[in-house]
Amino acid sequence: MRNWFNRLFAGRQGMDELSKLLFWAGLAGLLLSGLLVRLSQGLASLLSWLGLLAVLLAFFRAFSRQLPRRDAENLVYLRWLDGRRRAYAAWRERRRQSRDFRFFKCPGCGAMLRVPRGKGKVHIKCKCGYTLYRKT
């Protein structure tokens, strides 16, 4: 039995981060479709099919022997997730500092500019050369 498992998983990726996400999202979709079956038959059916598709895709990725392709897909997902985590951390930090500072977004380059609160109308000059006139 042990040799059979070793041969089965030889040269395969296993569950990476994207496969785990697909599996848990599919499982949540299947459970949610079971709860919604009394409210909306069409929505429950759609969620059921999407959940089943996500679980099957997760297992397909886990048992695939095309490691470079699966690694590339996982890397794209991890980069996307890292961007979301960074954006959330920046938002949380701005929220923490919002009592003492005002934040403005530069229309020229999109940079976040931080200005102390309670200074009245100020001229804010961005590194790109754009000047804002705002009330703090």
Paired strand residues for 105: 112
pLDDT at 36: 82
What band does 45 get if pLDDT is binned at 50, 70 and 90?
confident
What band does 39 get if pLDDT is binned at 50, 70 and 90?
confident
- For residue 72, which amino acid is it? A
Q: What pLDDT digit, counting tens, does each position of 58-76 carry? A: 999 998 889 999 999 999 9
